Structure 1
């Protein structure tokens, strides 16, 4: 944006993320840069509730086609279910709008190619909302790697922990089915695979992965259709009283009478088909290897990452939620080989979600911030992270290593 004219945008999808990150919060901090001209959701009551929370008077539409024809936005922000991102993205591009899409960009190779072909054909731009790249600590890690502080990077250890609240949420909602989310290898790990791809600065080549459903789904001792009015509420570790959260209750409970979608589905539903315990080994074009894991029912939330190089090692343990106090900063350990000692680099915590990445990403996109670290993610970055997740899912389900080249080509000649 040039700072003189506000960009007209349509918000498509009014769940939690759309209503807050790209609705209420975007207008609160970037109102001089953007103008919300349309809200679109297939559930009109949810859209009305979201509009009130956003404090907007934008008109409501129930289809992307109607939205584009009536509002003629310059930008469309996509916050719908993962499996239909492609329909919204392609329609927006073909109507002449740029797109910001929530991660993952999509859920299959056919949909990746459809999106990339539409972007090339229309000449419009897609940004993928990889907000973790923008967090100050992530930016510092990237700058250390780019500066060669540990010599040539050889391998990465990366382990992510979702706690029993956040992790369980994926099993309550539509994400619990591969057809909707592509599995957590795609929906959640797309964040993490993108970080690896960005840190390493190369494309992944091979993936060998394992996945199991160990806690949720059929593993439960009992089950019901949803938490509300469940007879097991007193004994269930995962009971979720949505009525105690006014925001979620307003956004989802009454609207569920229109489309049948409930926000507090039972985490023990027997038809859940995504993994909750995952690991993968990834080999890159530049011979770097990465060891990755994701666990979705931990007593803690956060991640641990380490970069190993020919002349040293970088370590980070980033805390998010845990039953003990933590400082108001992250500490990166830069350990140099050959008696080079250790340097402790403190990075203050930034405000806003995703370790400060949400606000910094919105500022770069809407205020034309400089991008020396290559943080702004395009459709190719979105495609590569999804492909890594698809390869991991295929490997975990077939028991063999999968080459990304087996999945098909995404780059145009």
Structure 2
């Protein structure tokens, strides 16, 4: 069938501008493979959106182009991913030559909009890593481009797909605690995972607009999905108290630092062959340093963040993100008119664990290393009754099992109906990123920020 590859999203009926679209609308032809190009060959692009696709889905898709400004990383990426496709330093030239069915964007966050918009305007469907973008102007430009192009944009939110997150959604959707009234959500990044952001480009607002956007967009997307409503107003606090200029000493990078022996945060990149081959070997091309000093003075993002978010359905959320916690994990509580749901993962005082904090981050990011299922609990406490414990099978690898399930849904079982509506489109991408964007604006202006003032999306009290 001549157009079978183009059927990737051809059956999608756009219900309304900027609406989320159902994954069940995806379907692939059986006679030809889906042609994919990737722009941005860093760690996430080469692994989750690169090697894993080749390893798991090569019978239905193929890479026809890789693009990056760094020619050295491109060559490494080609070998690591396992493809013989051509490489490009010019995105426009790649599109013209390859004519893909799908563009995958995994560049620095601040540049997502450039490739998303070019891809849509050129007549191609686009899949982007989270966050969708880093400010409201870029967000609106993306929405405009998608609407005008008639093409479609997928945002790769994987946390929705973990069994634990899905169970929370199920309990809430079934009105287990009645109408939701308020939520407490607190996320803790340990001194391995949290520190890693400040070593990289994420530590500068011009590239990431802070962890309010890059990291917390995951959490805000979960909140929007769980609550089934849109954020209406954000008031936030944040500061840089631990990293950056707060450090007792600093150097050019960890490899050459004079303080290796007395810095608790020393990280020896030379022991990681993949990092050496992907980044260190190619510094000469673009000057990007992967093991930058955590205490360099140009770090200007926040490492302590808290926000109050008012939703259109009158739910109030208290959220915080800590980036230098002694442990990695999170706590969550929903208060409702008929009870309370409490959930948490990886809190060391709750469950005995054999894995170290250093190993935990590495295990979480291993895309193919799903462990044998463990069991985690969710507490459901009805008014006037004793609490019940709901046991949920969980996994540690690949964002709690979400990575694998997201890929399988897109590439293996696209036509199966999803009762939890975990597919994420442009509207989901905007409404998650916009909370973080509003939070930074609130901190800088010391005022609450109305979400409706940032893009032309008007917050809805009920998303379904």
CA separation of 1:176 and 1:164: change in aligned 2, threshold 3 A: same
CA separation of 1:18 and 1:320: change in aligned 2, threshold 3 A: farther
Contact 2:139-2:455 within 8 A present in 1 as well? no
TM-score under structure 2 normalisation? 0.86
Counterpart position of 2:403 = 358
Counterpart position of 1:157 = 184
Counterpart position of 1:374 = 421
**Aligned pair 1:2/2:28, yes or no?**
yes
CA RMSD of aligned residues (A): 1.7
CA separation of 1:411 and 1:306: change in aligned 2, threshold 3 A: closer
Counterpart position of 2:78 = 51
**Aligned pair 1:13/2:27, yes or no?**
no
SS at match of 2:281: coil
Tell me the number of residue pairs that the alignment of Structure 1 and Structure 2 aligns.
411
SS at match of 1:119: helix
**Aligned pair 1:294/2:321, yes or no?**
yes
- Cα distance per residue 1:338-360 (max 9 Å; x no partner): 22x22211111236411000011
Counterpart position of 1:325 = 353
Q: Distance in 1 between matches of 2:347 and 2:147?
A: 39
Equivalent residues in 2 for 1:30-69 (5 A)? 30-69=57-96
**Aligned pair 1:113/2:140, yes or no?**
yes
- Cα distance per residue 1:246-298 (max 9 Å; x no partner): 11111000111110001001000112110001000100000000010000011
**Aligned pair 1:404/2:455, yes or no?**
no
SS at match of 2:35: strand
1:406 deviates by 2.7
Q: Distance in 2 between matches of 1:56 and 1:155?
A: 48
Give the counterpart of 2:304 among 257, 277, 299: 277
What stretches of structure 1 of length at least 5 have no aligned partner?
none
Runs of 4+ aligned structure 1 residues displaced above 6 Å come to 320-323
What stretches of structure 2 of length at least 5 have no aligned partner?
1-26, 355-372, 460-464
Give the counterpart of 2:155 among 120, 125, 128: 128
Q: Distance in 2 between matches of 1:95 and 1:222?
A: 49
SS at match of 1:205: strand
Contact 1:167-1:296 within 8 A present in 2 as well? yes
Contact 1:116-1:410 within 8 A present in 2 as well? no
Equivalent residues in 2 for 1:2-401 (5 A)? 2=28, 4=30, 5-319=32-346, 324-325=352-353, 328-339=374-385, 341-350=386-395, 352-367=397-412, 368=414, 369-401=416-448
Q: Distance in 2 between matches of 1:153 and 1:411?
A: 21
1:324 deviates by 4.7
Farther off after superposition, 384-393 or 366-375:
366-375
Contact 1:160-1:302 within 8 A present in 2 as well? yes
1:100 deviates by 0.8
Contact 1:173-1:262 within 8 A present in 2 as well? yes
Counterpart position of 2:21 = none
Q: Distance in 2 between matches of 1:6 and 1:292?
A: 43
Q: Distance in 2 between matches of 1:392 and 1:120?
A: 27
SS at match of 1:230: coil
TM-score under structure 1 normalisation? 0.96
1:408 deviates by 3.5
SS at match of 1:389: helix
- Cα distance per residue 1:343-398 (max 9 Å; x no partner): 21111123641100001111111230422211111001100111111111111222
Q: Distance in 2 between matches of 1:61 and 1:276?
A: 36
Contact 1:352-1:359 within 8 A present in 2 as well? no
- Cα distance per residue 1:14-60 (max 9 Å; x no partner): 10000000001121112223211111111011011111111111110
Q: Distance in 2 between matches of 1:18 and 1:204?
A: 30
Farther off after superposition, 28-37 or 259-268:
28-37
SS at match of 1:37: strand
Q: Distance in 1 between matches of 2:180 and 2:161?
A: 21
Q: Distance in 2 between matches of 1:197 and 1:275?
A: 23
1:401 deviates by 1.5
SS at match of 2:220: helix
